[in-house]
């Protein structure tokens, strides 16, 4: 009987479930939205139990659509860096799921930088100090949980990224584990030893007893419990952060290619033979499977699709993201308008916490459509910045950009991306490459597919966008973007009070 893999992709705004056959074909799919809360400016959080319920509902719906009583194996991809703390005795969260987007720990991170810890953290973890990383979020949760540090030290409180939270629930609380890709985003994993780093645990005040055990991305973690709403006894054989799973789903198994995932934020990633430290970019585990660990250089952008959502909200559109994208297509260009979506600082390659969003270049002739177009173009400009940093680091030209994620469904964006990069953009015709990558990792670990070569041979449907913009126009637009970035990041001059007129 043909074997089937259930892939669960738990993202920032929705949870998807896909059922794949042995030939790599998608047999059925389902999704559920996930609410996001903004309790204070710069704070972003979710309800951990809502995340879990969205997984149960999407998975059950997906299996029902396919008429599948039970899959052979399960793989999970997940939003990265988001953190949950829960009581081991009953599985109840002791606080919110603090989102990867959240900036509530910025003061603590600024203190670490002032104390000179940044070089050491970069050397050990590949990550610069920033609130996006999980470690400071874990500390924040323990600080605000009654007797949190003692309870965590005693193993009463479990800490984890979203993959470990879902695994805990899928196995009915039997397994508390994490894969190396998600661990590498916490700023607690030593890239050299691929273990929790005791010095960093001490720096952040995180008890090791509260953390999950570490395993390869492709690994038999445990079996589903029958009480989860998903059939019991199904092996969970893969965990991976969504960007890493997407890299795997593009069949990028060796250095040379770059992929970009277009979501609420964006991640560009390229494989390196060994851990490589590049200014302005992060070093991370690409994935680990079959006894081999692959590394990658990554550029993380905080607001891409989120910028389009924001401009739609700002303009009061009924369906903010969809309507803003449609509005952007009604004008031939941005009319000189640029949006820098530094709503909570800028990520790669700038890493500027002090930057703030700006909408500039406005004239009397500027319209809401120009603002919407500026938001869409900001996605491409930011990805271009990271691509150029990767090219400079590798000292070679990127032949093409492999693109995936929800934003890639916009043809206008894909063509503009190719134009502003002056490189072909190869779009996956599947918006679910992260889920596919998780399925491939699970199937490889479970023996459904025998090798990376077998995965490379599976059909992948792609569409190519060739650059067509004149060089002078490209340079004009990039010059405007660079000026907009400067305005968003430059420290304003001190204001000198005007001299007071004194009557004599």
Instruction: Write down the pLDDT at residue 501.
Output: 40
Q: Quote the pLDDT of residue 186.
A: 96
3-state secondary structure 85-126: EEECCCCCECCCEECCCCCCCHHHHHHHHHCCCHHHHHHHHC
Of 398 and 80, the structure prediction assigns the larger pLDDT to 80
pLDDT band at 432 (very low <50, low <70, confident <90, very high): confident
Q: How far apart are CA 476 and CA 344, in angstroms?
A: 27
pLDDT for res 1:
66
Write down the pLDDT at residue 503: 40
For the ranges 128-142, 291-305, 490-504, the lowest mean pLDDT is seen at 490-504
> How many C-beta atoms surround the C-beta of residue 89 within 10 A?
9
**pLDDT tens digits for range 217-260:** 999 999 999 877 788 999 999 999 998 999 999 888 888 788 99
Task: Show the domains of the chain with their CATH numbers.
Answer: 4-250 (3.30.420.40)
pLDDT score for 5: 95
Closest CA to 173 of 237, 240, 222, 230: 222
Residue 85 predicted with pLDDT over 80: yes
Q: Among all chains, which residue has been given the structure tokens 């508390």?
A: 176
Length of the chain: 504
Cα separation, 215 vs 381, whole angstroms: 36
Residues 6+ away with beta carbon under 8 Å from 273: 255, 295
Instruction: Please give the structure tokens belonging to residue 473.
Output: 């126009």
List pLDDT tens digits, range 316-356. 999 999 999 999 999 999 999 999 998 878 888 888 877 88
User: What's residue 62's pLDDT?
Assistant: 94
3-state secondary structure of 347: coil
Give tens-digit pLDDT for 277-292.
Answer: 878 888 999 999 888 8
Burial class (CB in 10 A: 0-12, 13-18, 19+), 497: exposed
**Spatial CA neighbour of 108 closest among 78, 83, 133:** 133
The three-state (H, E, C) secondary structure of 414-437, written as one string: HHHHHHHHCCCEEEECCCCHHHHH
pLDDT for position 81: 93
On the question of pLDDT at 502 being above 50, the answer is: no
Mean pLDDT, residues 254-269: 86
Who's near 295: CB < 8 A, 6+ residues apart? 191, 271, 272, 273, 274, 275, 276, 283, 284, 285, 286
Q: Rounded CA gap, 52 and 92, in Å?
A: 12
End-to-end CA distance of the chain: 101
What pLDDT score does 255 carry?
82
As given in the structure block, the two tokens for residue 469 are 């913009």
Q: What is the mean pLDDT of the chain?
A: 90
Bridge-based pairing state of the strands 4-10 and 73-78: parallel
pLDDT at 491: 52
Render pLDDT for 177-226 as a digit per residue (tens, 0 to 9): 999 999 999 999 999 999 999 999 999 999 999 999 999 999 999 999 98
Give the C-alpha separation, 446 to 448, whole Å. 6
Q: Which of 4-13, 30-39, 175-184, 276-285 has the lowest mean pLDDT?
A: 276-285
pLDDT confidence tier of residue 24, bands split at 50, 70 and 90? confident
pLDDT at residue 272 is higher than 60: yes
Compute the average pLDDT of residues 107-125. Answer: 93
Instruction: With a cut of 80, say whether residue 133 has pLDDT above it.
Output: yes
Instruction: Please give the backbone phi and psi of residue 359, each rounded to the nearest 5 degrees, phi first.
Output: -120, 105
Nearest to 415 by CA among 399, 398, 401: 401
What would the DSSP string read from start to end of 431-491? S-HHHHHHHHHHHHHHTSS-SHHHHHTS---EEEE-----HHHHHHHHHHHHHHHHHHHSP
Share of the chain above pLDDT 70, in %: 97
- pTM score, two decimals? 0.85
Please, which residues have CB within 8 angstroms of residue 501's CB and are 6 or more apart in sequence? none
Strand partners, 301: 266
Task: Label residue 459 by pLDDT band (50, 70, 90).
Answer: confident
Cβ contact 360:484 at 8 Å:
yes
Cα dist from 219 to 81, 244, 385, 498, whole Å: 21, 15, 36, 68
| Among the listed residues 26, 112, 15, 85, the one whose alpha carbon sits nearest the alpha carbon of residue 56 | 15
| Res 504 pLDDT > 70 | no
């Amino acid at each position: 009987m043909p074997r089937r893999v259930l892939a669960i992709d738990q993202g920032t705004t929705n949870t998807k479930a896909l059922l794949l056959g042995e030939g790599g074909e998608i047999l059925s799919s389902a999704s559920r939205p996930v609410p996001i809360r903004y309790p204070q400016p710069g704070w972003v959080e979710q309800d951990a139990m809502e995340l879990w319920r969205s997984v149960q509902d999407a998975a059950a719906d997906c299996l029902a659509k396919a008429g599948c009583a039970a899959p052979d194996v399960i793989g999970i991809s997940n939003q990265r860096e988001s953190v949950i703390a829960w009581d081991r005795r009953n599985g109840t969260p002791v606080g919110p799921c603090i989102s990867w987007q959240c900036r509530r720990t910025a003061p603590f991170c600024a203190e670490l930088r002032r104390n000179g810890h940044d070089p050491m953290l970069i050397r050990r973890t590949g990550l610069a100090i920033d609130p996006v990383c999980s470690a400071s979020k874990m500390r924040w949760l323990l600080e605000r949980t009654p007797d949190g540090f003692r309870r965590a030290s005693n193993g009463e409180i479990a800490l984890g990224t979203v993959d470990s939270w879902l695994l805990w629930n899928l196995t009915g609380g039997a397994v508390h584990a994490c894969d190396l890709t998600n661990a590498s985003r916490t700023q607690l994993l030593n890239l050299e030893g691929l273990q929790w780093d005791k010095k960093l645990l001490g720096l952040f005040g995180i008890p090791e007893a509260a953390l999950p055990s570490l395993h390869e991305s492709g690994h038999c973690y445990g079996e589903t419990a029958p009480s989860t709403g998903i059939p019991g006894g199904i092996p969970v054989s893969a965990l991976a952060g969504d960007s890493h799973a997407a890299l795997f789903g593009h069949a990028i198994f060796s250095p040379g290619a770059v992929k970009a995932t277009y979501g609420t934020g964006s991640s560009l990633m390229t494989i390196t033979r060994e851990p490589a430290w590049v200014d302005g970019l992060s070093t991370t585990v690409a994935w680990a499977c079959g006894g081999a660990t692959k590394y990658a250089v990554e550029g993380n952008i905080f607001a891409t699709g989120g910028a389009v959502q924001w401009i739609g909200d700002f303009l009061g559109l009924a369906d903010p993201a969809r309507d803003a994208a449609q509005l952007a297509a009604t004008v031939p260009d941005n009319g000189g308008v640029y949006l820098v979506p530094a709503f909570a600082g800028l990520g790669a390659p700038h890493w500027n916490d002090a930057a703030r969003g700006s909408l500039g270049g406005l004239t009397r002739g500027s319209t809401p459509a120009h603002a919407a177009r500026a938001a869409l173009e900001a996605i491409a400009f930011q990805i271009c910045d990271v691509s150029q940093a990767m090219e400079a680091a590798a000292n070679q030209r990127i032949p093409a950009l492999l693109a995936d994620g929800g934003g890639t469904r916009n043809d206008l964006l894909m063509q503009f991306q190719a134009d502003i990069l002056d490189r072909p953009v190869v779009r996956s015709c599947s918006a679910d490459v992260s889920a596919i990558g998780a399925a491939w990792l699970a199937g490889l670990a479970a023996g459904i597919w025998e090798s990376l070569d077998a995965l490379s041979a599976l059909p992948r449907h792609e569409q190519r966008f060739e650059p067509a913009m004149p060089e002078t126009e490209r340079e004009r637009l990039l010059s405007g973007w660079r000026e907009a970035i400067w305005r968003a990041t430059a420290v304003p001059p001190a204001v000198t009070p005007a001299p007071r007129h004194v009557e004599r």
